[in-house]
């Protein structure tokens, strides 16, 4: 018996070898960047502490968070409708929700631009009350909101679908209105999905480049800045900026993953 367990399953072994390509690729790239920066620490620190870099990182993170807040407001109701109701044209609505996943990001950028530019169907009425998207913070938020919405809506919808309808029905017969049942039963039981959907959307938002530069090249998000440095100052400087962002992302997502373990621990038992 002992002997048997030591013989590796040839199928699993080959799968592991083939699959490790993906892991190796990421690790290799990270290692190359890290080694280069660590061996030239003073240079990295001088670049990373430039106010331009710090500003861009902060802007990216905050705009991404802002998009997530908007998704919480608009995405949760949509996710609930998709999870709990059947209606004609539901398939169509689902496909529309998924469109930003499928499209090349430059196309997403054009879609965001024509809606939110000063003469755009949404941009124009807003510009009249002094709210500008083009070349502004809000343009960045709009682009991030657009490209990350499917990730958020689908994750949250999965969460809602995992809450048995019977629980909601039981709450209704105990005197809860539909909204009360949603707030007191469905929402708390899908917290983990909402949280992970938010992280997914945030990650997707801060990673956006193409859609953002079309509506708002300035103020520069981190991707714009890295690309700008790459084309003007070269690889050495842009890699240093990239490494700064990598460090921030790793720390932030490590914290979020830690938090997630504490959120909605009942989800698994629904």
Partner 1 sequence: MIEFENVSVTLGEFRLNELSIRVKKGDYYFIIGPSGAGKTIILEAIAGLHHPDSGRVLIDGEDVSGVPPEKRKIALVYQDYSLFPHMSVGDNVAFGLKLQKIPKREIESRVDAVLCRFGIAHLKDRAPYTMSGGEQQRVALARALVTEPDILLLDEPLSAMDQVNRDKFVADLRAIHRENCLTIVHVTHSREEALSLATRVAVIIDGTLEQEGERDEVFRKPPNRRVGRFVGIENVFEGTVTGTGVGGSVVTVGGCNIRTGGAMPDGCRVCVFIRAADVSVRRADMIADDEYNCFPAKIEEIIPRESYYLLGISCGISLYALATEQEIKEKGLVPGQSVSVSFSPTAVHITREDTSSSSPSC
CB 53 within 8 A of CB 247: no
What tokens does 222 get? 């981190």
Site for partner 1 in 140-169 (CB under 8 A): 164, 166-167, 169
CB 121 within 8 A of CB 115: yes
Answer for which of 104, 125, 188, 234 binds partner 1 (CB under 8 A) is: 188
Does 183 engage in binding with partner 1 (CB under 8 A)? Answer: no
* Shortest reach from residue 86's CB to partner 1, in Å: 11
| Entry field: residues in the chain | 270
* Residue 175 or 258 with smaller CB distance to partner 1: 175
CB 60 within 8 A of CB 222: yes
Answer for which of 33, 65, 81, 176 binds partner 1 (CB under 8 A) is: 176
Cα–Cα distance for residue pair 82/76, rounded to 1 Å: 10
Does 270 engage in binding with partner 1 (CB under 8 A)? Answer: yes
Answer for which of 141, 155, 185, 206 binds partner 1 (CB under 8 A) is: 185
* Residue 113 or 182 with smaller CB distance to partner 1: 182
* Residue 119 or 269 with smaller CB distance to partner 1: 269
Does 78 engage in binding with partner 1 (CB under 8 A)? Answer: no
Helices 51-84 and 90-102 pack at an angle, to 10 degrees, of 160
CB 123 within 8 A of CB 130: no
* Residue 133 or 195 with smaller CB distance to partner 1: 195
CB 175 within 8 A of CB 247: no
- Tabulate helix, strand, coil % of the chain (nearest 5): 80, 0, 20
Does 87 engage in binding with partner 1 (CB under 8 A)? Answer: no
Q: Which residues bind partner 1 (CB under 8 A)?
A: 164, 166-167, 169-178, 180, 184-185, 188-189, 266, 269-270
């Amino acid at each position: 018996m002992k002997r048997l367990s030591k013989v590796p399953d040839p199928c699993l072994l080959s799968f592991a070898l083939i699959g490790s390509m993906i892991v190796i690729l990421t690790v290799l790239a990270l290692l190359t960047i890290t080694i280069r920066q660590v061996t030239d620490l003073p240079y990295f620190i001088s670049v990373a502490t430039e106010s331009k870099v710090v500003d861009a990182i902060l802007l990216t993170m905050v705009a991404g968070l802002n998009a997530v807040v908007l998704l919480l407001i608009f995405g949760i109701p949509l996710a609930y409708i998709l999870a709990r109701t059947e209606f004609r044209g539901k398939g169509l609505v689902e496909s529309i929700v998924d469109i930003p996943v499928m499209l090349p990001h430059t196309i997403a950028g054009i879609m965001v631009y024509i809606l939110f530019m000063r003469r755009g169907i949404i941009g124009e009425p807003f510009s009249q009350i002094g709210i500008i998207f083009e070349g502004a913070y809000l343009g960045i938020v709009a682009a991030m909101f657009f490209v990350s919405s499917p990730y958020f809506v689908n994750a949250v919808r999965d969460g809602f679908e995992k809450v048995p309808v019977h629980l909601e029905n039981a709450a209704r017969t105990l005197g809860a209105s539909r909204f009360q049942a949603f707030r007191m039963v469905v929402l708390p039981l899908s917290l983990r999905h909402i949280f992970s959907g938010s992280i997914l959307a945030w990650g997707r938002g801060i990673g956006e480049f193409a859609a953002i530069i079309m509506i708002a090249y300035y103020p520069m998000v981190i991707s714009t800045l890295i690309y700008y440095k790459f084309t003007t100052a070269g690889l050495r400087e842009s890699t240093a900026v990239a490494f700064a962002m990598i460090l921030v992302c790793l720390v932030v997502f490590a914290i979020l993953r830690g938090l997630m373990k504490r959120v909605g621990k009942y989800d698994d038992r629904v």
